[in-house]
Amino acid sequence: MGSVISDIECPNCHSPYAYNDYYYKTGEEFTICSDCGYYFAYEIDRDEKSDNLSFKTTIIDKPYGSYSISGIKSGGGMMGSLESKDQLDEIINAYREKIEPVVSIKLSRYINGEIFIKEVFNTEKYLRIKKLKKISNL
């Protein structure tokens, strides 16, 4: 499968670093902005009953923000768009409960023409607080 990957200007926050991936062999295209959370996908959709192919478009043009998760083991991470604060809370709670090997979760939001970035979860801090609470309950 061939693709062309480039940075483009985000249609929402105008950051010059929106990630765009165009698969020229299939016509699929994906864009995500790590600054504001804008998301666009034009992708092949397969009807499992009839096996017919069509294209579907998904757009999050007024996102709540974007999240980025930094990993410990691999040094890698992941990021994605958020449509609501509830989605962010679900992600944080999933890591809080499982204590996955994650360094931090950061939120990036575009508000009134500015990008704001905030660390919303840090495993080391969380474990320290949890340990302190346990000690104080003795």
Share of the chain above pLDDT 90, in %: 56
Confidence of residue 4 (pLDDT cuts 50, 70, 90): very high
Asked whether residue 46 carries a pLDDT value surpassing 90, the answer given is no
CA distances to 32, 59, 72, 81, 129 from 39, rounded to whole Å, are 5, 6, 27, 7, 35
Confidence of residue 134 (pLDDT cuts 50, 70, 90): low
Residues 68-122 have pLDDT tens digits of: 988 766 667 889 999 999 999 998 888 776 655 667 889 999 999 999 999 988 8
Q: How far apart are CA 60 and CA 131, in angstroms?
A: 39
pTM above 0.85, yes or no: no
Mean pLDDT of 7-26: 95
